[in-house]
Amino acid sequence: MTSLVFDAAADGLHVCLAMVAVAGIFLGVIAIGEVVRAANHRRHARRPRSY
């Protein structure tokens, strides 16, 4: 039977990896939002204006 008890170093490593993963997801969401915003800006700039 495998033990699920980790020593302090392994537990710290898991915490650090979890924080890096959350930061990656956070930055990914920001990047997707910025790309969508830039594409929307370009799309509106191409549309003919109705005066």
Convert the pLDDT of each residue in 1-51 to its tens digit. 345 666 878 888 999 999 999 999 999 999 999 999 999 988 887 877 776
Q: Tokens for 18?
A: 């979890």
What is the reported pLDDT for 1? 39
Between CA 46 and CA 34 the distance in angstroms is 19
Quick one: three-class SS letters along the chain? CCCCCCCHHHHHHHHHHHHHHHHHHHHHHHHHHHHHHHHHHHHHHHCCCCC
What is the reported pLDDT for 3? 54
Would you state the torsion angle of the CA atoms of residues 26, 32, 37, 38, taken in this order, to the nearest 10 degrees?
120
What is the reported pLDDT for 6? 65
What is the reported pLDDT for 18? 96
Q: Tokens for 12?
A: 């710290």
